[in-house]
Amino acid sequence: MKNYKIVNIRTTVKSDPVESVLIIYTGGTFGMVVDEDGALAPFNFGRVIDRIPELRSLELKLTVISFPEPRDSSNITYLDWQDMAYIIYENYAQYDGFVILHGTDTMAYTASALSYMLKGLNKPVILTGAQIPIGYIRSDARENLITALEIASKKENGIPVINEVCIYFNYFLLRGNRSQKIRSSTFAAFQSQNYPYLAESGIDIEYRKSYLMPHDADASLEIKNKFDDNVIIVKMFPSMNRAVLETMFSVKGLKGVVLESYGSGNTMNFDWFIELVEKMIKKGVVIFNVSQCSGGEVILGRYETSKKLKEIGVISGGDITTEAAVTKLMFLLGQEKSPKKVAEKLAQPLVGEMDVQKMP
């Protein structure tokens, strides 16, 4: 483990707080402040209390674990997901919930990966961040963090209301592995097209109970932390060049491809293309078909242009997002040796990330 900085935040409330939340600070715009030269730079989260004094008056026991070098989430890798999962695992019994402060750019990937890794999760893990750094007056960091903390500590009759990995952003709580960053310049950065939002924060926080993962009293947390990054994402576009695609597919050690198809799972069905994909599958490369559309689902066989894909063994991603698909592929390739097993597990939901195909 790296050299993580740990800070306990002392609250000013008189009685001893009952609920406790562990904040894991990884970096991102949230924690950047303007330095002497006017540039944005990550700041030491130990000083967060200076920027958000309201934290002291929350009736919560709060601890912050900060990544030694907070980073832009564009530089996050599966090694960081392993660290985050490990921190949660190690501290699982001591805290009621977990909040991860993370850059928005790859937050949906991290949320998806953690949802697969934290098997038997029975407590809230809420990722949040900000579009404007905490050092700015109009920052959204304050609201996002304070509400995320409230959600992470919410219980009813002693049982956590949230029992899964979520993203809280701009008044909405979304299932993590159903989320996508869709806007870079407004506060409403995230959406979940194919799964309803889980809660909305207004005067009260309204939870939509029928969409939440239920609490499983018998489950105990396990972490599954192996990934295999020998994967690529291939996005279809008209006139895709055969030689380019052949070169991409000939990468040494390639084990999986997320194929971003059109509409409900269609690709060109020229002979050379189908033969190439079939050759890859025969070689043991898993091909996972997800739609370029952010809403809707892959239904292999609906159109003639996807019938062949199904016959040769391409796996349908149903209504999964690309973020959840590529992390699922890396995760399953890390867990399973046999491509057949990986393919079987890809086709089924692991933890609410997709609905299975409604049509044959």
| Catalytically annotated residues | 29
Is residue 103 part of the contact set for ligand ASP (CB under 6 A)? yes
Is residue 28 part of the contact set for ligand ASP (CB under 6 A)? yes
Shortest approach of ligand ASP to residue 267 CB, angstroms?
31
Query: Is 45 within 8 Å of 102 (Cβ atoms)?
Result: no
Chain residue whose CB lies nearest ligand ASP:
103
Query: Is 23 within 8 Å of 99 (Cβ atoms)?
Result: yes
In angstroms, the Cα distances linking 194 to 153, 180, 190, 332, 351 are 27, 11, 13, 22, 15
Is residue 129 part of the contact set for ligand ASP (CB under 6 A)? yes
Is residue 144 part of the contact set for ligand ASP (CB under 6 A)? no
The tokens describing 165, both together, are 């990995």
Is residue 105 part of the contact set for ligand ASP (CB under 6 A)? yes
**Residue 157 CB contacts under 8 Å (≥ 6 apart), including other chains:** none
Question: Which of 22, 67, 84, 104 contacts ligand ASP by CB under 6 A?
Answer: 104
Point out which span in 10-18, 69-77, 153-161, 293-301 binds ligand ASP (CB under 6 A): 69-77
Is residue 110 part of the contact set for ligand ASP (CB under 6 A)? no
Is residue 160 part of the contact set for ligand ASP (CB under 6 A)? no
CB burial of residue 77 (10 Å; 0-12, 13-18, 19+): exposed
Binding-site size, ligand ASP (CB under 6 A)? 10
Question: Which of 21, 66, 70, 73 contacts ligand ASP by CB under 6 A?
Answer: 73
Shortest approach of ligand ASP to residue 56 CB, angstroms?
25
Strand partners, 166: 126, 175
State which residue, 137 or 243, has the beta carbon closest to ligand ASP: 137
Cα(196)–Cα(174) distance, rounded to whole angstroms? 8
State which residue, 104 or 179, has the beta carbon closest to ligand ASP: 104
Query: Is 131 within 8 Å of 169 (Cβ atoms)?
Result: no
Cα(269)–Cα(271) distance, rounded to whole angstroms? 6
Cα(217)–Cα(336) distance, rounded to whole angstroms? 28
Point out which span in 70-78, 191-199, 233-241, 345-353 binds ligand ASP (CB under 6 A): 70-78
Shortest approach of ligand ASP to residue 189 CB, angstroms?
7
Strand partners, 231: 256
Cα(111)–Cα(102) distance, rounded to whole angstroms? 10
Q: What residues line the site for ligand ASP (CB under 6 A)?
A: 28-29, 72-74, 103-105, 129, 131
